[in-house]
Structure 1
Amino acid sequence: MKTSKEPLLLYVHIPKTGGTSFTQAIVEHCPKAVYYFQVADKPDLLRQTLKKADALCGHLPFGLHHTTTRPCQYVTMLRDPVDQIASFFYFKYKNKNYPDNYNPYLTFEEFLNNSYFDPEYVNVQTRFLSGELGSTSPNLNLAIRNLEQHISFAGITELYAESQFLFMKIMGWEPKVYSKINANENRPPKTELTSDMIDLILLKNASDVELYYLARQLLLKKIYALPHASREEFRLYKRNCCWQGEDELGYY
């Protein structure tokens, strides 16, 4: 059990990056984990949580460490912005499990060009890591600085097995395979998006694109730096995965 003098794990769960699945490992290893939505609008409860919890998980922006004297450890996941935006659309508007938003007639093109798109979806990843959730033009340099200097681990959705494995190794936990949760199986593949759709997403999310590729590069460096024994351990780990990500490296 952690004390108030030990680091508080802050999981910045950026929406539609695979975070619901990633949270499983944290909750299993941190018995005093709290979900951010339970305390976000309750200042007194949030302060108590920052003192007593061993982990805080959810759609929380970077910056909560400024509100506590306790040491904090940030982790997060990032995703290819094109896939993330498509996931937003199909999960929110084409998912019958959410009848309040379900709209069988709304097209992806209409979604991208609607006036509400920018304030709700543009550069969401940069917003979370810069701590500027309300801005569609967040400070990319600040987000990069936070990523490089204050985020102890940033996984990549497209390298999910690698991310889970490395995260648990960094935390000193025995690597365990956790299944993906909240995945929208009905979502068409990225290859079905037109070049115009992709270009518009990339244009509107230029900050997220740069941030994503930096985070991906940093993760790949960690993967390449694995000692031989850990590489062998990862081979066995990935064999047990019921899903497969990219084989980015030749020895996987």
Structure 2
Amino acid sequence: MNNHEKAKSLIFLHIPKSAGTTLNKIIENNYDKEAIFTIGIDTQGSINKFKNIPELERKKIKVLKGHMPFGLHELMPQPCTYITLLRHPVERIISSYHYILRSPVHYLHNYVTTKQISLENFVSTGMSTDTDNGQTRRLAGVSAGKLSGERIVDFGECYPELLTQAKENLINHFSVVGVVDKFDESLLLMKKELAWNNCYYISRNITKHKPNERQIKKETIEIIKENNQLDLQLYTFAQELLSQKIEKQGNRFAQELKNFQAKNNLYARFNRLKYWSRLEASRLKKLVMGAKYS
């Protein structure tokens, strides 16, 4: 356990479609509800609300989390540390597109479905800067441009220095940089680094019925890669950071991971049984009530 990191407030920079909803729930299980501030769908509105909290009250915040650009630690009067999860850009964008198709609450849903926008057009037309090195943008802090009038970077205009800045931020400000394809390893490191207790989970907000990369046209995959060259490099860098941190744990880490995964599998099975038991109880109750008044 790192007592120095434990003493700091935590900022979870949630990159969309990168297992963040699952990690959000784990975070909520480890901190008092009153000590958590969540950046909501209205990012600017949430940031303004946070800014307007008196400094003495902001000092009590132990967790700031949500879809946000890097840099909000500057609004925290107390020492902070960040965590995040990155995902392979191709997988993330495919997942994002299919999430939009199936989520009427998403701000792009009506446009994408009404216009029958294909994945290829979704990526290439510039309707969302998130499809243009979205992870690098957030971790370099350039998303703050649209929020505060600074460092605006339009679609297709990302430059190499953004990648350099994102890497520096990961090195200098993040306790753990995780990746989705090693979620359990990332989580176990966060547990150790931040002295979390309850880290068992059920995967949440998984985009259903989406095709995998092999089912997508090669031309579309190449467009995604071309538009996300910085994100591809950043993802590789994040993998390297994670591997280095795991290596520092020594040989015992592999056994700790195996033990955690075994216990988490039991936890997930138990909760699925509870869920189906509640459904069955509800169904039986309706049958009984229906018979009573028939």
Band the TM-score falls in, shorter-chain normalisation: 0.7 to 0.9
What residue number does 1:213 align with?
A: 236
* Alpha-carbon distance in 2 for matches of 1:46, 1:107: 46
Where 2:53 maps in the other structure, the secondary structure is helix
Deviation at 1:99, TM superposition (A): 9.4
Query: For 1:85, which of 93, 102, 112 is the aligned residue?
Result: 93
Once structures 1 and 2 are overlaid, which stretch shifts more, 167-176 or 20-29?
167-176
Once structures 1 and 2 are overlaid, which stretch shifts more, 199-208 or 224-233?
224-233
Residues 175 and 237, structure 1, Cα contact 8 Å, conserved in 2: no
What residue number does 2:47 align with?
A: 40
Deviation at 1:47, TM superposition (A): 5.0
Provide, for residues 173-205 of structure 1, a one-character-per-residue CA deviation record: whole Å limited to 9, x for no partner: 236321111111211112112221111111111
Deviation at 1:40, TM superposition (A): 1.8
- Which sections of structure 2, spanning at least 5 residues, go unmatched? 1-6, 144-151, 267-294
- Does 2:123 align with 1:122? no
TM-score by length of 1: 0.85
Residues 40 and 46, structure 1, Cα contact 8 Å, conserved in 2: no
TM-score by length of 2: 0.73
Residues 11 and 74, structure 1, Cα contact 8 Å, conserved in 2: yes
Within 5 Å, which residues of 2 pair with 1:1-252? 6-31=7-32, 32-37=35-40, 39-42=46-49, 43-45=51-53, 50-95=58-103, 101=109, 103=113, 105-117=116-128, 119-133=129-143, 134-135=152-153, 136=155, 137=158, 139-174=162-197, 176-242=199-265
Where 1:207 maps in the other structure, the secondary structure is helix
Query: What RMSD over aligned residues (CA atoms) do the two structures have, in Å?
Result: 2.4
Deviation at 1:81, TM superposition (A): 0.4
* Alpha-carbon distance in 2 for matches of 1:46, 1:208: 37
Q: Which amino acid is 1:23 matched to? A: N
Identity of aligned residues (%): 27
Deviation at 1:97, TM superposition (A): 6.7
Q: Which amino acid is 1:174 matched to? A: N
Residues 8 and 50, structure 1, Cα contact 8 Å, conserved in 2: no
* Alpha-carbon distance in 1 for matches of 2:176, 2:107: 36
Deviation at 1:223, TM superposition (A): 2.1
* Alpha-carbon distance in 2 for matches of 1:131, 1:211: 14
Aligned residues: 237
**Could you say if the C-alpha distance between residues 47 and 12 of structure 1 is closer, same or farther in structure 2, counting changes exceeding 3 Å?**
farther
Q: Which amino acid is 2:90 matched to? A: V
* Alpha-carbon distance in 2 for matches of 1:36, 1:46: 17
* Alpha-carbon distance in 2 for matches of 1:203, 1:46: 45
Higher helix share: 2
Provide, for residues 26-79 of structure 1, a one-character-per-residue CA deviation record: whole Å limited to 9, x for no partner: 111111111122732323138566322111110122112223441111111100
What residue number does 2:275 align with?
A: none
Once structures 1 and 2 are overlaid, which stretch shifts more, 164-173 or 89-98?
89-98
* Alpha-carbon distance in 1 for matches of 2:15, 2:126: 22
Q: Which amino acid is 2:27 matched to? A: I
- Which sections of structure 1, spanning at least 5 residues, go unmatched? 1-5, 244-252
**Could you say if the C-alpha distance between residues 50 and 171 of structure 1 is closer, same or farther in structure 2, counting changes exceeding 3 Å?**
same
Once structures 1 and 2 are overlaid, which stretch shifts more, 18-27 or 168-177?
168-177
